[in-house]
Amino acid sequence: MSSSPSSSDVAIVGGGPAGLIAAEVLGRAGLKVTVYDQMPSVGRKLLMAGRGGLNLTHSEEFERFVTRYAEAEPQLRPLIEAFRPDDLRAWSEGLGQETFVGSSGRVFPKAFKASPLLRAWLSRLEGLGIRLSLRHRWQGWDEDGHLVFTDAAGQKVQVKPAATILALGGASWPRLGSDGTWVALLSQRGIQVSPLRPANMGFTLPWSDIMRSRFEGEPLKRIALTFEDRTVKGEAILTANGIEGGAVYALSARLRDAIEQLGSATLHLDLRPDLSEEALAKRLSAPRKGQSASTFLRKGASLSPVGIALLREVSPALPSDPVSLARLIKAAPLTLTGTKPLDRAISSAGGVPFDEVDEHLMLRRMPGTFVAGEMLDWEAPTGGYLLQASFATGIAAAKGVLARLGIPDDALTLNPSSATRLL
């Protein structure tokens, strides 16, 4: 049974960071805003991301920062320039959540977790009159252009807002609400959508039974990974059927594309990035004095048991001469044969191409409907870049709504107690 149509100035579909920051901007402009989400609460992916520490953004120099968005840099640059990492930090601090810069340059709230920030944010939104309609699954549009939802009781809810912002995320966290079902709904309206693919994910490779049974879950610390012309220092973790971790995620887009094109990709692992090949070879030239190969590598090259096992995995007959052995330690080849599935990825690539939206992120084929966050076709490594772009695109979409409705935004601030402005 269909309910009677309801209305609001703006409907936001999706209660993640992009949708909530858009709601805040519009609420400050005095608009009536309703945020619809299919889950029982909003910000679930934000809370999950913050379990190990909420990485809000990154402190690196801006010109370096925007290069992290690769092919999408030209489109995202002006949006991030309008809401920079320092602006995101000021916004967080305006919620009473001071931030700090970690040793890697990543920015975290001092509380570290996401829950204090989200609680303060929801309290602010409540004060702005933002309405949350939870357990509402979006079903698309009806023939009259109403947004259609199914509520918790299975009843149909129709909404005819003055403007709509879609911020439903990608498809990497289906159990938290980002299930990608919106792709079919937009495609039905003639909107092109690039296929959703895993991003910041692990990879598969055929470990031996010994490797799986003894070293699953073991970390590889202080390593460097190289693929093609790029090298990343960091850490990784061995899984039952592959490898994942921060250093892997930083190379994941290139590795994924190579596997899609060629069927596999060879990643080179440097177990001693702090030593040159020559210095390592010199160490390995010392007499073994009856030591086993494992003992010699542990003492001579300071390798961990998992590092030694990896060398034996890729080269069962270890080189006997120091130069060849050093070369193997500095560039052990790992042949990756596949990617972990989309629902196991940290984020997703693909989505609505920027050609389908105007400079305000409004769909060209559907005037009055805007797209923000991970629904857009961009990707970035972990390190704060994902959240920064989600916030920036949410703000850009909200500003687009204000422009369409003829409401000036030059007097608005996201944080009245600071100089953080929308422009």
pLDDT number for residue 52: 80
User: Where along the chain do the CATH 3.50.50.60 domains lie?
Assistant: 10-198+346-404
Among 422, 419, 402, 398, smallest CA distance to 17 is for: 398
pLDDT number for residue 290: 83
Q: Are strands 203-204 and 338-339 parallel, antiparallel or unpaired?
A: antiparallel
- The Cα-based distances of 286 to 207, 289, 296, 300, 315 in angstroms read 31, 9, 9, 8, 21
pLDDT number for residue 304: 95
Specify the pTM: 0.92
pLDDT number for residue 7: 58
CB atoms near residue 265 (< 10 Å): 24
pLDDT number for residue 1: 40
Q: Could you read off the pLDDT tens digit of each residue along the chain, which spans 423 residues?
A: 444 445 569 999 999 999 999 999 999 999 999 999 999 999 999 999 878 899 999 999 999 999 999 999 999 999 999 999 999 999 999 999 999 999 889 999 999 999 999 999 999 999 999 999 999 999 999 999 999 999 999 999 999 999 999 999 999 989 988 999 999 999 999 999 999 999 999 999 999 999 999 999 999 999 999 999 999 999 999 999 999 999 999 999 999 999 999 999 999 999 999 999 999 999 999 988 888 999 999 999 999 999 999 999 999 999 999 999 999 999 999 999 999 999 999 999 999 999 999 999 999 999 999 999 999 999 999 999 999 999 999 999 999 999 999 998 765 667 654 444 443
pLDDT number for residue 6: 54
What sign has the CA pseudo-torsion 249, 256, 237, 391? positive
Helix spans in 320-384 (H): 322-330
Q: Which CATH superfamily is domain 10-198+346-404 in?
A: FAD/NAD(P)-binding domain (3.50.50.60)
Cβ atoms of residues 353 and 192 within 8 Å: yes
